[in-house]
Amino acid sequence: MDVQLLTFIIVGASFALYIAIAIWARAGSTTDFYVAGGGVPPVLNGMATAADWMSAASFISMAGLISFMGYDGAVYLMGWTGGYVLLALCLAPYLRKFGKFTVPDFIGDRYYSQTARTVAVFCAIFVCFTYVAGQMRGVGVVFSRFLEVDIVTGVVIGMAIVFFYTVLGGMKGITYTQVAQYCVLIFAYIVPCVFISMMVTGHILPQTAFGATLADGSGMYMLEKLDNLSVELGFNEYTSGTKSTIDVFFITFALMVGTAGLPHVIVRFFTVPKVRDARKSAGWALVFIAILYTTAPALASFGRVNMIETINGKDMQGTPYAEAPTWIKNWEQTGLITFKDKNGDGKMFYAAGSIDDPASQNEVKVDRDIMVLANPEIANLPAWVIALVAAGGVAAALSTSAGLLLVISTSVSHDLLKRNFAPNITDKAELFYARLAAGVAIVIAGYFGINPPGFVAQVVAFAFGLAASSFFPAIIMGIFSKRMNDKGAISGMIAGIAFTAAYIIYFKFVNPAANVPANWWFGISPEGIGTLGMLVNFAVAYGVFKMTDEAPQEIQDLVESIRFPKGAGEASAH
């Protein structure tokens, strides 16, 4: 059977499964819709959280990024997992005890302020839209490459599926669908990687294969070979980085704190029955995430060796273009690989530098995003593995979109509508508006998926920087300082966001030409500035707090009551 037919069958079967689950887990009330009735078992919730968190970026792009960044790729590996430690230890159990539906709910109640709630709502909506546009795009790319339908059709199919189970099932439908999606995506990620590590080193586990000796009998370590190859071709050693230590430190910190402050991640801990389940669920989520995140660096290094050897040949003399494997030609059609025969010898050669620079030997431009998708083809794996990877990529994109769309719809129907404009609407009416908001959000996200604004990649730094400099400090102070007041928290959030946004907007949009280390403050890139924004937030909040009255007694009592588990009820609106 050919690859395309197999891909149709496997992707189609996975869609049928998601729809069946959605019908089984319909939402009957707002509690079902917002927090799955608060009754999800912790291990399953951990799995759903992992699927929610691991987006098209984790599945499709991350290994590719690491493959090209070497050691520096650790910022993503540590940043996107270390945040869960902060989440599990400092946020999840307390927010669960607090027992509301959303992050703006916590901010609004804890700081007894409608302004704080509204600021939080807009941050949440902005962060989620930023993310979801990228996901829809991911669906489109997978569809267009593997099913050869155009991107528009791919995005529309993806929208229809997400629409169906988000609008029907709300959080309940999403949670159980995400469990299935996790299984699909992790299987799709691990299988090709196991095949490749067996081929390269003879080890089954990619995590150990990556530090093993090569299977070609040379007795050389895999990473040693990769270091040598990299240096020979004019790159840095793979295992040492090019970023400055301070930048790596700040980016990693911003990603960790940003992860812990992302509303669609936090809300997952409202769906479990008890505080102890929130702790457990965070642990399981990280286990399920770590399976992919410890495999990714292995995949990255194998992919890099395979790619270099395919293009340059085992003897490093270049492979004649006429004999190039079909995957190179396939990806060339999508524009993600470009070959320019600069020395006219008819052979491809990959090296450091740009293909447009006459001084560089490099003749092949390879887009980072194809690493995971092309890996099975590069390693000549069977067709069903390639089909599986396509289904995994779609599962990753769909599961994350659904989680984000839910936060958007909750923010609109619950935080904005019910809390601000129509406090007396019935549960049924609120549910209707939640579904309506989810529907509208999907259409907007789909529009951005089809017509991606050029700045999608840039705004990701924005989303993390914003979460790091606004939500995270506000929530932390709300739990660990019972006297922190509304004025301190609000001015902290505004100062943190304004500082971070100004820095990112200047370097990414206003004056991108100046975006070089020499111009950065203390050598911190826009990706890492959220860390400094967080410190600004804490400092301003503390300063303003010192000059104003402390939080009223009933709020201090509220904070004391969330500090121990006993008496945690179901999450509720009141």
Partner 1 sequence: MAFKSDDDKTAYWKENLSILAKLLVVWFVVSFGCGILLVDVLDQIQFFGFKLGFWFAQQGSIYVFVVLIFVYMAKMNALDKKYGVDEE
Question: How far is residue 67's CA from residue 229's CA, in Å, rounded to a whole number?
Answer: 13
Do 400 and 189 form a contact (C-beta atoms < 8 A)? no
Shortest gap between Cβ of 368 and partner 1 (angstroms)? Answer: 17
Query: Which helix or strand (DSSP H or E) is residue 464 part of?
Result: helix 456-469
Whichever of 81 and 399 has its CB closer to partner 1, that residue is 81
Nearer of residues 96 and 347 to partner 1, judged by Cβ: 96
CB of 465 to partner 1, least distance (A): 19
Helix axes 62-69, 275-312, angle to 10 degrees: 60
Q: Which amino acid is at 199?
A: M
Q: What Cα–Cα distance (Å) separates residue 120 from each residue in 252, 406, 470, 533?
A: 24, 16, 8, 16
Q: Within a 13 Å sphere around the CA of 156, how many CA atoms are in the beta-carbon half?
A: 5
Nearer to partner 1, 89 or 510 (CB): 89
CB of 219 to partner 1, least distance (A): 11
Minimum distance from residue 77 beta carbon to partner 1 (Å): 6
CB 272 within 8 A of CB 47: no
- Shortest distance in whole angstroms from residue 239 CB to partner 1: 4
User: Distance between CA atoms of 312 and 318, rounded to whole angstroms?
Assistant: 4
**How far apart are CB 294 and partner 1 at their closest, in Å?**
6
Amino acid making up residue 32: D
Residue 391 makes CB contacts below 8 A (sequence gap 6+) with: 7, 10, 11, 14, 184, 188
Segment holding 21, helix H or strand E: helix 3-24
State which residue, 441 or 479, has the beta carbon closest to partner 1: 479
Contact of 64 with 57, CB cutoff 8 Å:
no
In the bound complex, what is the minimum distance in angstroms from residue 484's beta carbon to partner 1?
16
User: Could you tell me the sign of the dihedral formed by the alpha carbons of 444, 445, 446, 449, in that order?
Assistant: positive
- How far apart are CB 160 and partner 1 at their closest, in Å? 36
Rg of the chain (C-alpha set) = 24
CB closer to partner 1 out of 15 and 253: 253
Q: Name 94's Cβ contacts closer than 8 Å, sequence gap at least 6.
A: 479, 562, 563
Taking the complex as a whole, the smallest distance from the CB of residue 470 to partner 1 amounts, in Å, to: 22
Please state, in angstroms and as integers, the Cα–Cα distance from residue 362 to each residue in 33, 229, 234, 370, following that order.
Answer: 53, 14, 10, 18
Q: Residue holding tokens 């995270």?
A: 472
Q: Least distance in Å: CB of 23 to partner 1?
A: 33
> In whole angstroms, what is the distance from residue 146 CA to residue 141 CA?
9
State which residue, 153 or 244, has the beta carbon closest to partner 1: 244
Tokens 């959280």 -> residue: 49
Nearer to partner 1, 3 or 291 (CB): 291
299 vs 348, which CB is nearer to partner 1?
299
Closer to partner 1 by CB, 153 or 236: give it. Answer: 236
**Cβ partners under 8 Å of residue 356, min gap 6:** 340
Tokens at 53, concatenated: 């968190």
CB of 169 to partner 1, least distance (A): 28
> Please, how many CA atoms are within 13 Å of residue 486, restricted to the half-sphere of its CB?
13
Task: State which residue, 286 or 434, has the beta carbon closest to partner 1.
Answer: 286
- When the beta carbons of 112 and 221 are compared against partner 1, the nearer one is 221
Residue 254: CB minimum distance to partner 1, A: 12
**Tell me, what amino acid is at 387?**
A
**Residues within the interface to partner 1 (CB under 8 A):** 66, 71, 73-74, 77-78, 81-82, 84-86, 88-90, 93, 207-208, 210-213, 221-224, 239-240, 245, 248-249, 252-253, 274-276, 279-280, 282-283, 286-287, 290, 293-294, 297, 560, 563-568
CA 495 – CA 501 distance, rounded (Å):
10
In this complex, which beta carbon is closest to partner 1, that of residue 93 or of residue 392? Answer: 93
Q: How far is the CB of 75 from partner 1 (least distance, A)?
A: 9
Among 171, 179, 185, 181, CA closest to 403: 171
Residue 387 or 479: which CB sits closer to partner 1?
479
Measured from the CB atom, the residue of 245 and 426 that comes closer to partner 1 is 245
Give the Cα separation of 305 and 323 in Å (integer): 19
> What is the token pair recorded at 384?
């069903």
Where does 311-351 show beta strands of DSSP type E? 319-320, 337-339, 347-348
Strands (E) located in 247-385: 319-320, 337-339, 347-348, 364-366
Q: Find the shortest distance in angstroms from Cβ 564 to partner 1.
A: 4
